[in-house]
A and B are shown apart, each in its own frame.
Chain A
Amino acid sequence: MDTTATVIEKRPLTDVTTLLVVRAPLVARNAAPGQFVILRVSETGERVPISITDFDREAGTITIVVQNVGRTSALICALEVGEEILDFAGPLGAPVELPDRGHAVLIGGGFGAGAIYPLARELEARGVRVSAIVGARTAGLVILSDLLGPACDEYHVCTDDGSLGYHGLVTGRLEELLAEGAGYTSCFAVGPMPMMRAVAEATARWHLPALVSLDPLMIDGTGMCGGCRVSVGGETKFACVDGPFFPADAVDFDEVTDRKAMYAEDERVSCELAEAEVTV
């Protein structure tokens, strides 16, 4: 059985974000919107979860967008075309449940601007009206407009510094659009935790049903360790098998945010080590 995964295309999107197209036929065949993969890039390395930004079952490819935030993500971003990825397991997680009608608004921040693309593609195929709101700190960090823009009926960009599109946070724009009578019937968000929390608050105000993708620390990704557990509606769920998408209004954001910071000190050590290796 061919479980190899080879980088066939690489595109730096910003200074800190890289897009990789990976030939991994076994993973691509069953992939569905909302799922992720787990990568390991060295024999001493961690297993890190990364969302599937695009998949092509025929071509047997998976596209991922990786933000360089630490040791392993730096190693992934440094992979070159033709290189084989040591471990590339997936597709993991439950496919997100998408509606068959109405007007869906997709919200993406950071790598989330890529991760919402498979949702847009599927919604469009189902004939659902799709709007996307994408946020970044500044114009230079807005990614994948070329991919996502054409897949949506409406495409809105927001920047924190106002250098492109709406000046402010994605939720500011969301509420503005809702106030203008956009008539969204569902919302899906992928991005940094503070953004998801803000989306949860905003959509609650407007009684708009929303699902957010949680990204707790993970190891196996198969429901075996419970390290990815999150509290949703007072119940413990394993984000790797029950999620990653959960109803925004039921998520205990304080807990997810806190648990994610569990190894902050170790991560710093790891990064310093990686930098030292690079400078040697």
Chain B
Amino acid sequence: MPIVYPHKTEMPSRDPQERRSSWDEVALGYTEEQAVVEARRCLQCQDPLCEEGCPVNVPIREFIRLVALRRFDEAARTIRRRNLLPAICGRVCPVEHQCESRCVLAHDGQEPVAIGRLERFVADWERAHGGTPSLVHPVRRAEKVAIVGSGPAGLTAASDLAQRGYQVTVLEALHAFGGVLRYGIPEYRLPKAIVDQDVENLKAMGVEFARDVIVGKTVTIDQLLRGLGFAAVFVGTGAGQPVFLNVPGENLKGVYSANEFLTRVNLMHAHAFPEYDTPVRRPRRAAVIGAGDTAMDAVRCSIRLGAEEAHIVYRRSEEEKGARAEDYRRAVEEGAIFDWLTLPTRFIGDADGWVKAVECIRTELGEPDESGRRRPVPVPGSEFVLEADLVVIALGTRPNPLVPQATEGLAVDGHGCIVADTETGGTSRDGVFAGGDITTGAATVILAMGAGRRAATAIDEYLREKASLVSTAAERTGNIGL
């Protein structure tokens, strides 16, 4: 019989005060004892609804059963059947909207089983005990497949295709691999050693990685398919183009997009300037506009860069925020200040062109808008000024148009997303598949992985079909010759 505790087993984490000046990982992960205790909360449901809440259908019930039995290596293999990057997903999945939201315990007045924490535990246990055996498929196939972008969508597609024996090359625009996992999500939330190791695992499986290749500039999709001999291309270029507010003062010094701010810190290590050459503004008072994952990352980074006060400025209320529950809680613990129902109207600069304040107006929520959320309406006369010497705009991102612009006949929708079949990733161009944020707009790591996986299956089918067509055509020509 399961032991019924109404709450999740707490995960040890660093002291919030210490965190304010440290880039080390905040959440420390379960011990074996804690994991077993938490796993025993699982009811081993006949019909595990939690699995339907996971976009890649991790066999949750089964892996948790194995954890409860302390068969951790088997648990790891069970997860890996569906999820290639469990150490990452266990850390960054918005579980309260995915697997854990469907757990029966959560519908029973209790907290759900801590599926994300257990997944992380199992993945970390595996790494600590000799790592993952790479699964190379013995059959080598002649076809080469190009993967454009090394985010979760691209890495997953690369892995699945390599396992099927294809020769896979990942082409990445930046000098480091991982996409948002590398340049967006900070070290204290996702240590880069984990991303490095996942990339190394793929290299060990025979996947080739090429950095500094900007597809659409360095090579085009057409060049990949023609001159360079790739039989198919998967596009996983993400939604990397920042959106600005378009209010006065946005180009003052000290005003950043979240992408720039986080890239300076995560990819370029600006927090370690001058040891690393790339600088970033060291704030005294920071204001971050927005309340999604990206905003939480920016506000927590600004605290670590020394901000005495760090504000989240959001035009709707706490309820509408997009951030994961855990990151929001951590930001609160670390002392971030939340200005809900506040709309920035202008950035005010000093005599030298540096931002010194944000002019804001309070809002109240009116009727629901197209997104289904209640529309914020400015309250007349409620204007006020928030002092800030660093402003980060975290209002979301759009798909980067580089690849579509350089690829004739590749259809995009009104938002600039590549139009792709949700099941296969197939696009309007023969041999070109797409998945992840470039097709959906900004979403989640696990959704991007799921799309990469489905596309890999579809690419395999596409290439097999093509190969068999070629061989039947060859036979036919042979017959006619007779």
B244 contacts the other chain (Cβ, under 8 Å)?
Answer: yes
Choose, from A39-47, A125-133, A137-145, A182-190, the stretch at the interface: A39-47
Q: Name the contact of B219 in the complex, choosing from A26, A87, A88, A262 (C-beta under 8 A).
A: A26
Asked whether any CB of chain A lies closer than 8 Å to the CB of B274, the reply is yes
B-facing residues in A33-75 (Cβ within 8 Å): 40, 42, 44-47, 71-72
B210→A3 contact, CB < 8 A: yes
Does B342 lie at the interface of the complex (its beta carbon under 8 Å from any beta carbon of A)? no
Chain B 213-244 interface mask (CB, 8 Å, partner A; 1/0)? 11001111001000010000000000011101
Residues of B near A223 (CB, < 8 A) are 240-241, 400-402
Chain A neighbourhood of B212, CB < 8 A: 3, 87-89
User: Is A266 a contact of B274 with CB atoms below 8 Å?
Assistant: yes
Q: Does B251 contact A225, Cβ atoms closer than 8 Å?
A: no
Tell me whether A224 and B277 are in contact (CB under 8 A). Answer: no
1/0 contact string of B258-280 vs chain A (CB within 8 Å):
01100110001100011111110
B389 on interface, CB distance cutoff 8 Å: no
Check A26/B213 contact, CB under 8 A, given A222-B400, A224-B263, A236-B250.
yes
From A26, A89, A225, A263, give the contact of B259 (CB < 8 A). A225
Is the pair B175, A219 in contact by a Cβ cutoff of 8 Å? Answer: no
Contact of B244 among A46, A236, A262, A270 (CB under 8 A): A236
Closest residue of A by beta carbon distance from B262: A225
Q: What residues on B are CB-neighbors of A236 within 8 Å?
A: 244, 246, 250-251
Write out the residue numbers on chain B whose beta carbons fall within 8 Å of the beta carbon of A163. Answer: none
Mask: chain A, 170-183; 1 = CB below 8 Å from B; 0 = not? 00000000000000
B256 close to chain A: CB less than 8 A: yes
B97 close to A (CB within 8 Å): no
Are A241 and B175 in touch, CB under 8 angstroms? no
Whose C-beta in chain A lies nearest to the C-beta of B393? A226
Q: Is B208 interfacial (CB 8 A cutoff)? A: yes
Within 8 Å CB of A86, what residues of B? 175
A88 to B175, CA, bound (A): 9
Taking a contact as CB atoms under 8 Å apart, the answer to whether B260 and A225 are in contact is yes
Q: A27-B218, A225-B242, A266-B274 are in contact. Are A231 and B251 (CB under 8 A)?
A: yes
B260 and A227: CB pair below 8 A?
Answer: yes
Let me know if B175 and A258 touch, CB within 8 A. no
Closest to A2 in B: B210
Known interface pairs A44-B275, A47-B175, A258-B353. Does A1 touch B244 (Cβ–Cβ under 8 Å)? Answer: no
Q: How distant is the Cα of A66 from the Cα of B250 in the complex, in angstroms?
A: 32
| B211 at the binding interface (Cβ < 8 Å) | yes
Asked if residues A259 and B263 are in contact (CB atoms below 8 Å), the reply is no
Answer whether residue B174 sits at the interface, using C-beta atoms and an 8 A cutoff.
yes
Interface positions, chain A 233-280, Cβ under 8 Å from B, are 236, 241, 255, 258-259, 261-263, 266-267, 269-270, 273
Task: Flag whether A152 is at the interface (Cβ < 8 A).
Answer: no
Quick one: which of B218, B240, B275, B281 contacts A224, CB cutoff 8 A? B240
**B269 and A219 within 8 A (CB):** no
B41 to chain A, nearest CB (A): 42
Contact yes or no, B259 A224, CB < 8 A:
yes
B214 touches A224 (CB 8 A): no
Distance between B262 CB and nearest chain A CB, rounded to angstroms: 9
> Scoring B residues 156 to 199 as 1 if CB is less than 8 Å from chain A, else 0, what string do you get?
00000000000001010111000000010000000000000000
In whole angstroms, what is the CA distance A26 to B171 when docked?
A: 12
CB neighbours (8 Å) of B353 from chain A are 258-259
Take A223-B401, A270-B277 as given contacts and tell me if A89 and B175 are in contact as well, using a CB distance cutoff of 8 Å: yes
Identity of the chain A residue whose Cβ is nearest the Cβ of B224 in the assembled complex: A1
| Interface flag for A14 (CB, 8 Å) | no
- Chain B, residues 395-438, CB within 8 Å of chain A (1/0): the string is 00000111000000000000000000000000000000000000
Q: B residues within 8 A CB of A118?
A: none
Q: Quick one: which of A87, A219, A255 contacts B263, CB cutoff 8 A? A: A219
* Nearest residue, chain A, Cβ from B259: A225
Q: Which residues in A have their C-beta under 8 angstroms from that of B269?
A: 44
Would you call A224 and B242 a contact (CB within 8 A)?
Answer: yes
In chain B, residues 270-314, which have Cβ atoms closer than 8 Å to a Cβ of chain A? 273-279, 281
Contact between chains at A3 and B213 (CB < 8 Å) = yes
**B183, B268, B274, B275 interface centre (most CB from chain A within 10 Å):** B274
B77 within 8 A of A: no
Q: Give the chain B neighbours of A3 by CB distance below 8 A.
A: 210-213
- Chain A hits for B279, CB < 8 A: 263, 266-267, 270
Chain B residues with Cβ below 8 Å from A29 are 219
A224-B240, A226-B260, A266-B279 known; A47+B214 contact, CB < 8 A: no
Any A CB within 8 A of the CB of B439: no
| A46 to B181 CA separation, bound complex (whole angstroms) | 20
* Docked complex Cα distance between A62 and B183 (Å): 29
* B400 lies within 8 A of A224 (CB): yes
| Chain B residue with Cβ nearest A42 | B277
Q: B7 contacts the other chain (Cβ, under 8 Å)? A: no
A44-B277, A219-B263, A224-B400 provided; 19 other pairs, C-beta below 8 A? Answer: A3-B210, A3-B212, A26-B213, A44-B276, A45-B277, A46-B268, A47-B278, A86-B175, A91-B218, A220-B173, A221-B214, A222-B173, A225-B257, A225-B263, A226-B242, A258-B353, A259-B353, A266-B273, A273-B274
Chain A to chain B contacts (Cβ below 8 Å), 24 pairs: A1-B208, A1-B228, A3-B211, A3-B212, A3-B213, A30-B220, A44-B275, A46-B268, A46-B277, A87-B211, A89-B175, A89-B214, A219-B268, A222-B214, A222-B400, A224-B400, A226-B244, A226-B260, A227-B256, A236-B251, A258-B353, A259-B253, A262-B253, A270-B277
**6 pairs of A and B residues whose beta carbons are closest in the complex:** A266-B279, A89-B212, A225-B260, A226-B257, A224-B240, A46-B277
